[in-house]
């Protein structure tokens, strides 16, 4: 499965996993190895009538994220380390891939050092 197909699969799995009514879903996902140790962080929210609600991703969504983390977007010289994802209730979605030290991981590492 190519990267675009994986992105479509993630969007479909995500839409079906939120059982409540929603207007917008946002996912922040980080996956980076530091000192040979893998770190994975995600935050998922859905919005309805302007109210923000956090939820957990189901196993199918997490499996697709793991597959996505092994890929890099076409025409990109380096592998992404985190992304922001948003999808509206009409099914229009966008992945915004980012590079370098992910923000939540950076905070986690800062406070985990003795």
Split into its structural domains, the chain has a count of 1
Show the low-confidence residues of the chain (pLDDT under 70): 76, 113-114
Query: Which structural domain, as residue segments, surrounds residue 44?
Result: 3-112
Report how far residue 111's alpha carbon sits from residue 72's, in angstroms, rounded to the nearest whole number.
29
Which CATH number goes with the domain that contains 83?
3.30.500.20
- Residue-level pLDDT at 6: 93
- Residue-level pLDDT at 72: 72
Report how far residue 58's alpha carbon sits from residue 36's, in angstroms, rounded to the nearest whole number.
27
Residue 87 · residue 14 · CB < 8 Å: yes
Q: What percent of the chain has pLDDT over 90?
A: 54
- Residue-level pLDDT at 49: 95
> Of 20, 24, 26, which is closest to residue 42 (Cα–Cα)?
26
């Amino acid at each position: 499965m190519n990267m675009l197909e994986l992105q479509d699969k993630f969007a479909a799995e995500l839409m079906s996993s939120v059982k409540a009514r929603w207007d917008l879903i946002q996912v922040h996902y980080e996956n980076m190895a530091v000192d040979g140790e893998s770190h994975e962080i995600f935050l998922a929210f859905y919005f309805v009538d302007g109210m923000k609600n956090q939820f957990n991703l189901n196993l199918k969504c997490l499996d697709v994220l793991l597959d996505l983390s092994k890929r890099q977007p076409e025409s990109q010289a380096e592998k992404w380390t985190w992304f922001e994802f948003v999808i509206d209730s009409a099914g229009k979605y966008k992945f915004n891939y980012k590079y370098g030290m992910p923000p939540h991981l950076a905070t986690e590492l800062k406070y985990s050092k003795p």
